[in-house]
Each structure stands twice: as C-alpha cells, then as structure tokens.
Structure 1
Amino acid sequence: MELADETPDDWWAIEALYDLTFAPGRKALSSYRLRDDVPAVPAFCRVVRYDDGGIGGAIRCWPIRIEDHRALLLGPVAVHPTRQGEGLGSLMIRDVLERSAPAGWPRVLLVGDAPYYERFGFNRLNGVVMPPPTNPDRVLGHGAWAGIRGRVRKSLD
C-alpha cells in the first residue's frame, strides 16, 4: 500500500467510500456548506492505495477563513470497513498535520469527537463558530489558533 495524492480517476471510488462509511445524509451537514462550489486543496487530498489499485482510505481538506485567518477544514476522512483498525485513518491525519504548516496552512479545523482527535493534538475551539447546527463541542483545532475568534466561512484560496 501507499499514501498517494488523489487523482481525477479516484473521484468515483472516493465518493463510494464516503457513501459507504458515512450516513446517507452526510451532504446535509453544515460542513458541506463550506465545501459547496469550492475546490478542495489538492495537496491535502490523499488516498491509501493498494497494489491492486483499490482504495482503502481517503482524506480531503478544504480552504476556510475565520475573519482574515486562513485554515484547512480537514475532512471527510474515511477508511473502508474492511481496513479499519489498521491505522490508515491515523496515517492520513498525521500526513495532513505534518505537511500543513510548512505549506502555509498554520491552522487545521475539523468537526469531530474530541476524545478521538485529541491524540493528534486537536483541542476544542472556543469562539470559532461553524455554520449551524454544528455542536460547538465538536469544533476542534490544531495549530496556531491563539486569539482567533469568529465565524467559519468558505474560502476560494
């Protein structure tokens, strides 16, 4: 297996993986409003590809802004049910976190379960507001968030 950049040929397989791993209403979530009509950041759209060409996991990131501060919105991240427990999700998340700040993205935000994401260095963000109806306890950040407050909005850069 290898961790590789997503290619245009991967699109359908990744969408099928997301449909398989997430609830049918995944696109109704508020985080998807931040992704509508905004291209993902290609350097942070990765797949775990096996020798047979199959995809065992996928991660995508999107540009967002909080006031004048840019950040990456991490997710969705998914691992095929037959590959869960192999550390693929951790591999993909760590890859994004190791490469984001050096690439000019000092902040990463996600909506998720704090007990799971704390091991990667994510913490609850007070004062950073996702579009409703997001639970504020699930808004987590990694990186340079000191003093940053405001509404999360989509970005085109």
Structure 2
Amino acid sequence: MAGRPEGVVSREAPASLVHDAVSRQVVPTPSVAFGDISPSRGEIARAIVVVAETAADIASREALLDRAMGPMRRKKSSEKLRRGRRPSEGLAFVARDAAGAVIGTVRLWDVRLGEGGPAALLLGPLAVDPALKNAGIGSALMRHALAEAARLGHAAVLLVGDAPYYGRFGFSAEKTGALAMPGPYERRRLLALELIEGALDGARGTLRAAGRKLTAQRLSLAA
C-alpha cells in the first residue's frame, strides 16, 4: 500500500506538526508575464490536512459535491447503495485547507457482493473543489482512505470510475467481470482493489447495500 503523499498530514498528527506543515509554505514570486500569484501544487499539498469527517462538515461537503459533480450526482447507480445509509465506521474523510475549509471529500460504504456474498467497501464519491483540481488533493484523500480501510481489516474496495486515474492506486477491472451495480453503469468502469489477496476470487452477483441505516434526523440533514 502506498504511503501518504509528502506533506499531507494525517488525522493522527499532533497539532504542532499540522502547524509546522502549514508554516513552511513559500509565497510564490508573481509571474511578470502572466500575473500568476496562485500557489503551486506542492504548496497546496503542504497546506492541507486529511481528517475524519464530522457532523459539522455536512453542509460544506454537500455544497462541494454540488459544485464538483452537479445535480445529476444523485442519479448515479452508486447512490442506490448509499441512500439511507451511513458510511462504513471510521471511513469518511475530508481535506481541509490552512483556514479549515472543506476542499475535498471521500467516503466508503459497506456492501455485499451478491445475495449473501462476501463483504466489501464501495468508495465514493471522491470530490475536490473545482478551483483546486490537479493539486494532489484527490490522491491524498485516496491514499489516506485506502490505508485506513486496510488498517481496519477490510478485504476489498470497489468503485465506479476511470481506470487511467484509479489504476495508480491499484484498481482494475480484472476481478469485476461477474459483478454488477444495481442500475445503469458502464461495465468497464467497475473497478476493484483487493486489500487482502484473493478476497475477490470467485466474487459474483449484484452489489447490495449493507451499511448502517441513517436515523430520520440524519436523513433530513443529508437530503
């Protein structure tokens, strides 16, 4: 499993380390030709922290998802496995900038592979503030989330996404040929990563929601 990107502080890091990571930022020299005074990718990476999501993050997270994915995000087949459920215990994260604002999010969900099949995780949505694309924030969230999933003993993670991007984290369609999502999707985009070797051997059937159900109050907050 790949480690966290350099400069990304995990949720276990002491406050002094977080402060030190932020304080090392170097203000870039403005470009005379283009007037570019935006921070570089490396400077943004050094300024972010990946931490566990809290209830106070719900509004910011939902607003970020709307900006990054648009109104059709709730129509995706993956949403059928998330609706009315809580993320898997300990596997909901946000990325914060130096000011504490939510600039990225990722959550993982408990699923079953077919009727009575083995347990696995469904990852998504992964989203980053559109103004901060290509700054390494998505990669930081992915590596942190996968490391935590492995630490907690989960066997496999699935997602629906682009292989050229998620392949860098070890995802492929090699063992998803006999699996299906509960709704329209592109088969080539159903990808998986084994955290325990052989966990997906012989896996087949349609993914089913298996996570903890939301209470009525939390359902209204998430709507």
Task: Report the TM range for the smaller structure's normalisation.
Answer: over 0.9
Q: Distance in 2 between matches of 1:107 and 1:85?
A: 27
SS in 2 for 1:123: coil
Name the residue aligned to 2:67: 20
Q: Distance in 2 between matches of 1:113 and 1:141?
A: 12
How many angstroms does 1:42 deviate by? 4.0
1:1-157 to 2 correspondences below 5 Å: 1-67=48-114, 68-124=117-173, 125-143=176-194, 144-156=199-211
Cα deviations by residue, 1:23-67 (Å, 9 ceiling, x for unpaired): 311101111011111111241111111231211111111111103
Q: Distance in 1 between matches of 2:145 and 2:205?
A: 24
Q: Distance in 2 between matches of 1:90 and 1:75?
A: 13
Cα deviations by residue, 1:101-143 (Å, 9 ceiling, x for unpaired): 2312111000001111111100111111111211111100001
Ranges in structure 1 where 5+ consecutive residues have no aligned partner: none
Q: Distance in 2 between matches of 1:94 and 1:55?
A: 18
Percent identity over the alignment is 38
When structure 1 is superposed on structure 2, of 46-55 and 70-79 the one drifting more is 46-55
What's the C-alpha RMSD, in Å, of the aligned pairs? 1.2
Q: Which amino acid aligns with 1:139?
A: L
SS in 2 for 1:60: strand
How many residue pairs end up in the alignment? Answer: 157
Q: Which amino acid aligns with 2:161?
A: G
Ranges in structure 2 where 5+ consecutive residues have no aligned partner: 1-47, 213-223
Q: Which amino acid aligns with 2:120?
A: A
Q: Distance in 2 between matches of 1:104 and 1:150?
A: 23
How many angstroms does 1:99 deviate by? 2.0
Q: Which has the higher strand share?
A: 1
Q: Which amino acid aligns with 1:141?
A: A
Q: Which has the larger radius of gyration?
A: 2
